[in-house]
Amino acid sequence: MYIVAVDPDTCSGCDACADSCPAHLLKFVDGKTEVVGDETECMGCESCITICPSGAVTITEM
């Protein structure tokens, strides 16, 4: 199981991670990307980490 998180202080608001998430767990809200729904539904594919230019996205394996 994996947990995805976005650091709002580091997020540049580009929305690239939300577009890349196959589980649709990330959404652009009020100029920043945030986790929506159950963050434990993350598949651990790391597409969001790879595409994030500011390094704001993290995935933790539980």
pLDDT tens digits along 15-58: 999 999 999 999 999 889 999 989 899 999 999 999 999 999 99
Question: Is the four-CA dihedral 11, 12, 13, 14 of positive or negative sign?
Answer: negative
> For the chain, how far is it from start to end, CA to CA, in angstroms?
5
Whole-angstrom distance, CA of residue 30 vs CA of residue 46:
24
Rounded Cα–Cα distance for residues 17 and 24 (Å): 10
pTM greater than the 0.75 cutoff: yes
Where does the chain have alpha helices with state H?
A: 16-20, 47-51
Beta bridge partners of 26: 35
Topology of domain 2-61 in CATH is Alpha-Beta Plaits (3.30.70)
pLDDT class of 59 with cuts at 50, 70, 90: very high
Domain ranges of the chain: 2-61
